[in-house]
Structures are given as structure tokens and as C-alpha cells.
Chain A
């Protein structure tokens, strides 16, 4: 009997020893591992969302883009009973499809995280649901922040819009601390200045029990939230409104900028889109609808669309011609060309727009009459392709204008090398002739032309164009960042030449082609029209350009550059100078669009009668 009990005792002791060893292993050898694990399990980290900075125009009084309270309807997977009937009721009540709810639930991996089934509901939109929501098990509403834009589709191209971060964006910017629930600037200033606007998220830790319920008094802010900065743009919303209305419902773009600083005062592009619709939309259907639209509403035509500069290029040609003779030794300043209405280069006839010809022209009259033959002639004889290319490059044509907006395109400044590599054809004299009148392969953006005029106004200095004036702290209003006035280009052209070119441009406005439509008396405008042919199309389809500055003869600081461009897709109205006329009238008479229009009509501008 004793031996049996002893055997039993030994077996029991050995097993007890084993248990002791296990206890020792867990509590002594692996203690730190489990301690860390226990702390992690019970500690919940919450992200404290930052508030995105607002966007103001230059007056910094009313925000253009701001945040409002919005609501989302969420499911709690722990309490929501997932059956056919519940989902169907929910779908009917919330006006979403059943599959949307099922898919959203299926997509959610977590057993505890809330599932968002509708978001971005405004207060008035959620009111009907309040009562129902309370009666449903596992359904709740939550307050969130919603981006809103004060002027809908006005300024939409500059402001841009925000949206849920995409997979690609998440991969690209993950190092900046984004997560998949974040919103991110998708376009315009919202995208360009994402880092300034966004701020930094904070972290809050709290102890939770197994049900995820917070334990009282355990909250601790580990990292404070940094609010995003408010942006003050250079845009003036009143001038912007005039510019947009002047452009009207014509596909095209318009830019108003201050040449002495590079500040963009207004930038319009038609057609536009409504960013509010994009942040409200339940799905991405609307987004793809806009993207598929043949008129490309997302295109900021002021910087993303190109067309041949046409006759506006003649201003540059004049500048080159005069600068090549800065010492007045070659006689270019008085050079005269006889225009019979055409010129024969090789076997090809190049025509002037006036069939019977302009007769004898010098640079002033040729610019005023926009005489093609004069510029064909000097382009081939006096200037030559190399000079055209060198000077145009100095003015920034064919290069990015370096504006602080995403997606700018550089256009095309052709050269023999360019033609060789692109078309595998050699450069012929006819190409030089075409280039001399801003046709052929050349393509520019409205902003590039505006920069070019700025250079002429500033005696050769082109400042970096920009839309951001400064960034301010969201609470204190303290300025935290100011966009520097940056000299982008300094063109090596004699000051006397610029003065003469400005004078010639003023002459165009008084005596030249656009004199009949530049009727504003509020300001002395100097400018040049352009009517660009679209390759392969008939005469009716022309781009309409107008680039101008004013008030003429005042110091550069007081000047304003206006460039308008109406796409060839529109009915031909020769609208660009007419729009610029309205813009100048409005800016310098300090009138709104309607007042400016009325005043111009009173002063005999018959051509606005169809408005």
C-alpha cells in the first residue's frame, strides 16, 4: 500500500514541479513580454483629427473653402444584427442600395470598428434619420467634418477639391502619416498646399476593457493636434467674379495678374465643376461623369491647355527685331516692308489676312495692322529661327511658368532640333514663316502669354506667378509663411526696346485691329489680339487671344496684365478682346460686372448687345 501511495506521490510531485516550472517560465523569464502585451491590449490609441485650414482670397475676410459639421451613419458590428430583413430596412430608410450595405460590411475586417454606411450628410439631411436611428440596434450617427466651398464652381480650378485618399496616394504619402480614412487634396491649391492645410493629427490614449469601453479618467493626450494653416490667396474674388462672367459660357480661360509681383489676381477656366458635389457624393459616379465629359471640366485651361499664340506672338517678334538692333546701326527700327497681301517662299504662297495687302509697313503699323507679310519677312530675313528660339526661350515659352498649382503644361516652342526629333523632318523656311506669326507647331498656355507680357511690362523681369500670398495660423491669425516675390527670369533685352514695344502695343489698342472693341475709358490699355488657326480646320474655327496690360505708361507696380483665350471650339465671336475690355473696365472703374457692362454699352459698345 505504501509503495502505491509513494508512486502516486512521486507522479503528482513531478507534475506539480512541471507546473511550477511553467509558472516560473511565464512569470519570470517571459514577464516583460507579457507585461508589454497586456498594456498594449488594454491601451487604445485614438487619432485626434486635425482641422484643415481654410482658404481665403486676398481680402482674408470670408473663406472660400472651409469646414462644416457633417454627419455619418455608422453600424456597430458588435450589436447590429446582420440579417436580410435588417439590412433591407436600413437600405430603404437610408436610401442606399442593399448591396452597398452588404459590401461595406463585408469589406470591414474588424469585429469592433464602426462601419460607415453613409457619410457627409449635412444637418438638414440627417434630421429625417435621427428618430429612426435611435430605434435601431447597432446603428448610430456620428459627427464629422466636411469640406465646403463657398462659391461652388467659381474658382474651382484654383481651389481644387479634397477627397478620400486613394490607394496610390496612400502608398506614396504613407510616410507623412496618412491612413486610409484620411482625406487629401486632389487638385488645385488643396493639393499644392496639402502640407500647409492639413495640420498634424494628434494621438490620445485611453484604457479600455475587453468590450472596448473606455475606463473613466484614463484618457491621456500623447500628441497634441496641430491645426492646419489658413491660406490667403492672391486671388480677388470680386475680380474673379468679373473675369468668370466676362468669359461667360465659352470654353476658354482668362488670367489677371500683377506683373510687378507675379500675383495671380484672377484665374478662370470654363467649363468648371462644383467641388461641393464631389465631396458630398456617396459614390464616385459623379467624379467619373465629370472626367468623361468631352469639355473636360477638370482642366484648368489657364495652365493646362495650349493653343498657337497666333498674332500675339508678333509682339515678341517686334521685341526681337528691335533688340537685334539695340544700337540702331542696322536700321531695323525703321525697316519697312511692302505688303502685297501675300509672300512667296519657295513655291508656297503665304498670305496676309488682308487679301489686298497693307502696303508699306514699319514695326509699329505692322503690329497695329497685325500684318503677316511684315513678320514673315523680318522673321526670315532679319531675325531667323535661332533668334526666335533664343528670345522665346528667355520669355519662358515652351517651359513651365512655375506657378504654384499642380498639373501645369509647358506647351511647345519648336526649333529645328525639336522638329527633327519629333517629326523626323528638317526645318524649312516655311516653318520659320509660320512661327513668325505664332502659327505652326507653336503652342502656349494662357499663363505663358501672361508671363511674357509681364516681362515686357517689367523691362525684362518675370516674377514667379503664384496664387498663395501667405499662410496664417488658424487660431491666432499670425502669418507663418509668406510666398516670396521671386525673380524667375531676367530677359536680356534693352530697356528702350521694351518701352518701344509697350508703346507699339498701346498703339494697337488705339489704332490697331482691336481698337474697335477696346472701348473702355476707365484705363489706357495696351494689348494685342490673336486669332489662331487650328491645324486642318477651316477659317471659322479660330482661337481668340487677347493679351494686354494697363494702365499704359504708369510704373510697373500699378500695371495689371490680362490674358484671355477663347477656344476654337466656340462659335467665332472674337470674344477675347471683348472679355478683356469688360475686365479692364471693371477693375479700373471699380465696378462689378453688370455696372461695367452697362457703362461700356452706354459708351457705344454695341457688340455686347447679345448679352
Chain B
């Protein structure tokens, strides 16, 4: 049976992912800094979610005769935005404000996580498992996972808000009254963290494992140079 060196295989995988992210970061930065003609491709499109007051719409229910009527809170639709709709200059500006920062943050976090995992796998492959370096890497991994995913989601909320603002500024909706675009900074941040509790718990779990790791390191240091 062929023995699979898991540490080496994972190291190759994370190494490739790391290189991809490291290439993607300057490409994304160029998209932010270069003039529209040299920026991101013009066929990139995105969509904005727009919510409306439910005027003229109602909801009936046949679940229970005595139950109260359902009230429709809002209607939401998605509007596709591309260069044909917005024009290349406006589209490029919109992408620079929304799509590119979101991508940049995602690539940055992914690059750092892949780098940490690549180094960890390399150290394990070399036989250096319980070391101070590895302990620091595992701690950083836990912190990044706990905070990085909600942070990315928060930036995504900001992106959605800016796209919503763009749509409301430049589009009119016959017969429908759009709800104003709102971004409640602190409340949105809190909501984002609560909606990404799994990422927070995963990160905290890794921090707990880092503590186990630290105990292992202490035991190893005690056993070192014991003949």
C-alpha cells in the first residue's frame, strides 16, 4: 500500500493556494489604481439588491382562519449592473469602490491563512512539531479565522450598501417606492459577527487547540535532553 505523506501533500496544496493569492493581490491592486481603460475587464458585472415598500401588495394566508393577516414588510429585487448600463467610467469607479476592496480583503486573509498552513505543514514534515514557532502560527490561525470571516462579511455588507446607493441614485422604479439605503456601522458589524458565529467558534476552537499545543510544548521541553 502506497504511503501518503499527508503533511507534504497538504504543504503542496497550501503552497499553490498561497501563490495564487499572492498573485491575485497585486492584480487586484492594479485594478484599483489603474485608469478605467487599463483596469478590470469591462465585462465584469455585479448586481444590486433593492428593497421596496410593499404598497399595493398584500399577503393572504389559509393556514388558520382566525389567525391575523400577514403583513408584507418589504419586497426585494436584484438589478444587474454592467458596463452597458453604467458606462465604463462609472462601472470602473463602482468596481473600485465595491468589488475590488472586498476581493482584496478576501485574498489578503486567504494568503495569510494559506501561508500559515504552508509553514505549519513544512515544519511538521521536517519533524519540528511542538515548537514556539508552530505555537505562534496556530494562535494566529485561530485569530484570523475568528475575526477574518466576519470582517469579510462586514465588507461585503458595505459593498452591498454602496451598490444599493448606486442603484437608487441612477435608477427609477415605476410603481414601486424604494426603501432608502442604510448602513448602520456598529449594528451591522454586530449582526455580521452573530451571523458568522460558526467562524468565530472555529477560530476559538483553534485557540483552545493552541493552548493544548502549548502544554505539549512544555512537556516536550521538560523531556528534551532527558537521557
**A, B in one complex:** no
